[in-house]
Structure 1
Amino acid sequence: MLALATTTLTVLRGTTTDAYGDEQDTDTPVHTGIPASLTEQSRRVTTRDDPTPRIVRYAVARVTAGTDITDQDRVRDERTGAVYIVEAVSSMANPAVAADLRLDLRRTT
């Protein structure tokens, strides 16, 4: 891992159906103890339709290349207990070294 790890993550995956037939996420851990660099940031945004500034919070994590994490997985920060949904997984192309995976996250709890 190229980034400095600040926490460890647990990857949560899987769904079940409740009594009403609705799909629900399960907290089944697939992988635990994954070193990650996790940062939460905020940004002030406006739109043409609504010029009132809003503060949008988002999180980004970096994990070792080849880690089994996909879009729509959930990850739990083992240090704080916060749970995030993985919105996107990306990596930069580098012919010399395997670059870290970048996870765009949205906090759910």
Structure 2
Amino acid sequence: MQAIATTRISILRGVTTDAYGDEQDVDMPVYTGIPASLAEQTRRVTTRDDPTPRIVRYATARVPARTDITDQDRVRDERTGAVYTVDAVSSMTNPTLTVDIRLDLRRTT
């Protein structure tokens, strides 16, 4: 891993069906103790339709290459207990070395 790890994470997967037939996430850890560089940031956002500035919070993480993670998985920060949904998984290509995987996250708890 090239990024400096700031925490360890667990990858959560799985869904179940409740009594009404709706799907619910199951916090079943698939992998635990994965080193990650996790950063929460804020950004001031405006649109043409609504020029009132809003503060948007978002999070990104970097995990080691070849980590088995997909979008719509959930990630739990083992240090703080915060849970995030993985919105996107991306990685740059480099012909000489394997690079970290970048995760775009949305905090759920």
TM-score (norm 2): 0.99
1:45 aligned partner: 45
Letter in 2 for 1:87: D
Supply the distance in 1 between the matched residues of 2:27 and 2:83 (Cα, whole angstroms): 10
1:62 Cα deviation (Å)?
A: 0.1
Tell me by how many angstroms 1:81 deviates.
Answer: 0.1
Count of matched residue positions in the alignment of Structure 1 and Structure 2: 109
In the alignment, what sits opposite 2:92? 92
Matches of 2:99 and 2:81, distance apart in 1: 27
Q: Which runs of 4+ in 1 moved over 2 A?
A: none
The offset of 1:77, in angstroms, is: 0.0
Q: CA RMSD in A?
A: 0.3
Find the counterpart in structure 2 of residue 24 from structure 1: 24
Q: What corresponds to 2:11 in structure 1?
A: 11
Q: TM-score, normalised by structure 1?
A: 0.99
Matched, 1:72 2:72: yes
Per-residue CA deviations over 1:61-89 (Å, capped at 9, x if unaligned) read 00001000100000000000000000000
Percent identical pairs in the alignment equals 79
Tell me by how many angstroms 1:22 deviates. Answer: 0.4
| Structure 1 CA distance for aligned equivalents of residues 40 and 97 of structure 2 | 26
Structure 1 residue runs of 5 or longer lacking an equivalent are none
Deviations 1:82-105 (A, max 9, x none): 000000000011111101000000
Give the letter aligned to residue 91 of structure 1. S
Q: How far apart, CA to CA, are the structure 2 residues paired with 1:63 and 1:6?
A: 11
Cα distance in structure 1, aligned partners of 2:44 and 2:96? 36
